[in-house]
Amino acid sequence: MSDLDYESRVILAMNAKRKNPKLNVRHLAKQFSISRTTLQARITGRPSKTDTHSSQSNLTMAEEDAIVQYILQLDSRGFSPRKADVEDMANLLLLKRDARRVGKCWTDRFIARYSELCTRFSRPYDYQRALQEDPDVLRAWFRLVANMRAKYAIQDSDFYNFDETGFMMGMIRARMVITRSDRINRPKAVQPGNREWVTAICAVAADGHTVPPFLCVAGRFHLAAWYSGGHIPSSWVVKTTSNGWTDHGTGLEWLKHFDQQTKARQKGEYRMLVLDGHESHINAEFNEYCKANKIIPLCLPSHSSHLTQPLDVGIFSLLKKAYGSQISFLARANITHITKDDFFPAFRAAFELVFTEKNIKSSFHGAGLVPLNPEAVISRLDVRLRTPTSPETPDVLPLPWVSKTPRTATEALSQSTLIKDRVSKHQGSSPTPILASVDQLAKATVTINHRLTLLTGEIKALREANEALSKRRRAKRTRLQDSGPLT
């Protein structure tokens, strides 16, 4: 009796009770090694967990099991999926049988149901910044912002923040993925190897407006292929530099671009520009241009941009995450080298996804600037990271094969051998163990079919990515201009 699974023993006990209603439930439960309350509830009509799951979930148990195994397989290859990827897996299986899509909370409930899965996320925190954070300095700066806005009558639509952020074309940032729950080390994501640097200079207004970006890429010549595919809007500016970094003149070039893009929408007499004190941002030429065009530059306190700069608070992290997702998809398609032809469409897709009115307004709110709320920022100064203790992995000794759903060809053979052995020994005893073993073998077949569906979807996406890449790589590399920004 001990070699039967729990549900099989419950069914046997229920059958015995139906044949002889006079049997005592307590004695039956003890005889079949099951819970008395479970047996009593099932006799009175409560469905099994499997039946309950089937009525409450769009997916069958076999479909969910296929997704779990697929996630673990991706995790072992360094491609731990995001929540959105798992949702796509479920919808792909449902589409095959014309069922309705899963809800927005399904993924969280799905992960909670399976102990072998969990979500992990890490974010670095600079302790040198934390050591230099001063509440008094921050309060004084917020008072300065309030006074300057009042003095020059700066409206939200004329209140801007600008900063630059860098990208390594082929690098992927840390992100939340789904992995094995017993995993000790952090999952590693496979990424293309190109470390060529690109700098994006971005600006946003407190009313949610986005200024077209100014990109600095490594190189000398502008190539026609960058612009022919429509991946660079006409309002964007691309500048070539020797290493993809900004130089002494870039700040002034960007300022002229900013002036051109924002003058027509200016409502007040002045525009205010919140920025850090980088030397390429603040110099004599920069200040003279600001003065001549009624632009008020306002420098952030040192070592506080992660708290007080809207772009750092709520935009740049999302932008790098979105760009990393674009590059991660290319990596899964075995595209091992990212070029500028690949960067521009990936960056544009990420930029348009992140730079929304809602995100921008939330960033100014999070930085305590609009509405003005210094304490919202100062209250976060005591944040510290905690490193969780890694659980120890117990030593597991190999066990003899027991009846269960096989996951490999070897396990399928073991299950088949077990069934044959039970059939040969079956002499008038209950057929339930044999039937259960056959059901498990059938479940394995169904699971293989579901995994084939998931793999088919992945192959389709990889083919589309490679076709798009081939099209970009075939484009002629016509030179348009030697160095400098192209407007």
Output helix, strand, coil percentages for the chain, rounded to the nearest 5.
50, 15, 35
From first to last of its 487 residues, the chain has per-residue pLDDT tens of 444 567 778 888 888 888 888 889 888 888 888 888 888 888 887 776 665 554 456 788 888 888 998 888 877 666 678 888 899 889 988 888 788 888 888 999 889 888 888 887 544 445 545 545 678 888 999 999 999 999 999 999 999 999 999 888 765 455 555 666 666 566 555 444 446 889 999 999 999 999 999 999 988 889 888 888 778 999 999 999 888 888 778 889 999 999 999 999 999 999 999 998 766 666 778 888 999 999 999 999 887 888 899 999 999 999 999 988 888 777 676 666 678 888 899 999 999 999 999 999 999 999 999 999 999 888 877 544 344 444 444 444 456 667 777 666 567 667 777 776 776 666 655 666 666 766 777 777 777 778 888 888 888 888 888 888 777 777 777 777 777 777 6
In the structure encoding, which two tokens stand for residue 463, read together?
A: 């083919």
Which single residue is written with the structure tokens 């952090």? 186
H or E element, residue 161 = strand 159-168
Q: How many CA atoms lie within 13 A of 47 on its CB side?
A: 8
Is 115 in contact with 181 (CB distance < 8 Å)? Answer: yes
When the candidates are 1.10.260.40, 3.30.420.10, 3.40.640.10, 1.20.120.1760, the CATH number that belongs to 134-383 is 3.30.420.10
Cis peptide before 374 (omega within 30 of 0): no
179: left (phi over 0), alpha (psi -120 to 50) or beta: beta
Cα 248 to Cα 77, 200, 206, 254, 266, distances in angstroms: 44, 15, 28, 11, 28
Look at residues 145, 152, 157 and name the one whose alpha carbon lies nearest to residue 262: 157
DSSP 163-218: EEEEEETT------EEEETT--SPP---------EEEEEEEEETTS-EEEEEEEEE
* Rounded-to-integer distance, Cα 127 and Cα 266, Å: 40
3-state SS assignment for residue 230: coil
* Rounded-to-integer distance, Cα 129 and Cα 121, Å: 21
